[in-house]
Amino acid sequence: MCESIQQYEPVNPAVVFSIARSRISCFTEFDRIPEKTYIHHKWYRRDSLITVKRLTINPPRWSSFTSVQLRDADKGPWRVEITDDNDNPLRTLRFSITE
Amino acid sequence: MGPLIPFFSGLRWQDIVDILLNSFILFRLYVLFRGTNVIRMIMAIAMLWILERMAVNMGLIVTSWAMQGIIAAAALIVIIVFRNEIASVLQTRNVKSFFWGFPRRQIQTPVEIIVESVYELASRKLGALIVLPLKKGIESVVQSGIPLQGKLSREMVLSIFWHGTPAHDGATIIQGDKISEVAAILPLSKRGDLPSYFGTRHRAAVGLVEKTDALVIVVSEERGQVTVFKDESIININDNIELDQVLREHAGALSASGGLKRQTVELSIAAMICLAGITGIWLSFARGLETLMTLEVPVEFMNREPKMEIFAASASSVKLQLSGSGTLIKSVRPDQVKVKLNLANAVAGSNQVAITRDSIALPPGIQLKRVDPQALEVTLDLPVEKTLPVQPDWTGKLADGLILEDVRMVPDKVKVVGGSLVLKDIQTIYTGKIPLEGITIGGTTTVGVILQPSLLKLEDGTRNRVDVVYKVSRRPAGVSGNDMTY
């Protein structure tokens, strides 16, 4: 999880983000990809699913990210579940949105 | 008859059984104790009770209190003073006689032996005083008797009253076929109208029959005359046949059909009075002024599937509005009213369980007017365990120029126990709020976990607190964090 993406790299990775940032991103990087595939970024606030985004991953190495716009009501603990195209979990990233 | 119809309307078969059973019990008590002082005292207490109720209804406060005290004291006195009489009534009868039959009066007394003995005593001019008790106890009246408990025989009676024997002076008491006591001292009558030829024996006989229902036979030492004393009667016996007849009547062998008829009439009247009395009491209890009361009763759940647990109920108690006669309503105890909900058909999840009349147990004579609420929402579930990750719940504002770049939980997972339906949608356990203010460098803090909903609990023995190990770094200079999206 990071504050932004610059030059295809995550900027200021962290686990706590201020609502003042107005936007946060989930950056994922894959290598040794045999063939074109898809992954999902599932954004949850507490245990409520907020949004799901489908991303394309191309061989041999690929980076991609998703972002969400923050509102005042979004404060609290969040997580992003990264799953493959068959909904198998690959990684879960946990963070908080605060003042 | 018309005005009685409303009283008896809605009479259940249980009410009829109730009245008949209690009438029978009252009648049997009368049969067992009739003729004794106990029954008279009980009747007197019943009269006092009626007076006490009247005093209460008329608002005579002190009188009603006094009556209550007198009744309580009288009941105690009856038991203490008449304990021997009560014991003799209860001990001399078998179990069957408590429930059926009408006890005859000591018909096993060998009348022939007594008649022969008395004839022999009279012919020999041996003075004698013989007591045949009936139902009233004579223990409180007779003094200083020598217990004998010997088998009754003509020879034994002659020996007792033979001149110069130690026991010849005093009364001999015959109970059944036994001589129970000899040389007993009877109370002397103070009557002034007795014939002048009556001696001490006669006066003692009169004294005893004034106070008991015993029959006393006196054999005059001077004249050889036999006299029988019974209640207020003084019968001069002229021959054995007459004595035999008097003794048999006393013993209960009612030769005359009139005696049997009289007894039948007496018992019939007693039975009717018992029935009327119990019916009156029943009506006063069950058909008094209708009174309402509201009772909050805890709900009991039964017949749930053993594997499932009740995780929630919309209420743990219900309000019941009850009605009945004032007497019955006042006597209702909370433990007599039960609300039992049958969960045999309940499934995992939320169930609407109606509170029907069948699920409410009430004391007899009490009616249900209203139930609030009329249904409960009961949540049943299978208890399961689930291991869930723990996530910190940060709050506040981190100082400018700092980044909280990493956090680690120790332990990072906890085992939670709860209903399967509840746990199905829970993926994370969160900590309590962790303030960011004051954090400048990395460190560790300890915080409790929040189990939401409250039906969840940690596995037994699991610590409710976790350590939060965090790492803080300075924000790099010149990195703005502007977005680049695709």
Mean pLDDT is lowest, of B296-305, B374-383, B460-469, for B460-469
| pLDDT, average across residues B161-175 | 84
Q: Could you count the other beta carbons within 10 Å of the beta carbon of residue B172?
A: 26
| pLDDT, average across residues B226-250 | 86
Burial class of residue B143, CB neighbours in 10 A (0-12, 13-18, 19+):
exposed
Beta bridge partners of B215: B132, B230
Q: Which domains does chain B have, with CATH numbers?
A: 11-102+258-285 (no CATH), 111-251 (3.40.1700.10), 290-381 (2.170.120.30), 383-474 (2.170.120.40)
| pLDDT, average across residues B275-287 | 80
Residues in chain A: 99
Q: Which residues 29-68 on chain B approach chain A with CB closer than 8 angstroms?
A: none
Q: Is pLDDT above 90 for B60?
A: no
Omega before A60 within 30 of 0, i.e. cis: yes
Which percentage of chain B shows pLDDT scores above 70? 88
Tens of pLDDT, residues A27-36: 999 999 999 9
Tens of pLDDT, residues B295-334: 999 999 999 888 888 888 899 999 999 988 777 788 888 8
Q: Is pLDDT above 80 for A71?
A: yes
Pairwise CA distance, residues B4 & B279, whole Å: 12
- Greater confidence (B482 vs B49) lies with B49
Contact present, B176 and B92 (Cβ < 8 Å): no
pLDDT at position B166 is 81
* Residue B254 pLDDT grade (very low, low, confident, very high; cuts 50, 70, 90): very low
Contact state of B397 with A94 under an 8 Å Cβ cutoff: no
Contact state of B393 with A76 under an 8 Å Cβ cutoff: yes
- The pTM for the full model equals 0.49
Minimal CA separation from B393 to chain A, in Å: 6
- Greater confidence (B231 vs B353) lies with B353
Q: Is pLDDT above 70 for B271?
A: yes
Contact state of A99 with B391 under an 8 Å Cβ cutoff: no
Q: Is pLDDT above 90 for B79?
A: no
Tell me, yes or no, if B442 comes closer than 8 A to chain A by beta carbon.
no
Tens of pLDDT, residues A39-60: 999 999 998 999 999 999 999 9
Nearest to A96 among B389, B394, B426 (CB): B394
pLDDT at position B10 is 61
Q: Could you count the other beta carbons within 10 Å of the beta carbon of residue B86?
A: 17
Q: Is pLDDT above 50 for B106?
A: no
Q: Which residues 377-436 on chain B approach chain A with CB closer than 8 angstroms?
A: 389, 391-398, 403-407, 425-428, 430, 436
Contact state of B403 with A25 under an 8 Å Cβ cutoff: no
Pairwise CA distance, residues B316 & B296, whole Å: 10
Phi and psi at B50, nearest 5°, equal -60, -45
Q: Which domains does chain A have, with CATH numbers?
A: 4-98 (2.60.40.2550)
Minimal CA separation from A35 to chain B, in Å: 22
Order of strands across the sheet that contains B402-410: B402-410, B465-474, B443-450, B429-435, B383-395, B413-419, B457-458
pLDDT at position B258 is 56
* Residue B151 pLDDT grade (very low, low, confident, very high; cuts 50, 70, 90): confident
Pairwise CA distance, residues B309 & B295, whole Å: 27
Nearest to B393 among A8, A23, A96 (CB): A96
Burial class of residue B345, CB neighbours in 10 A (0-12, 13-18, 19+):
exposed
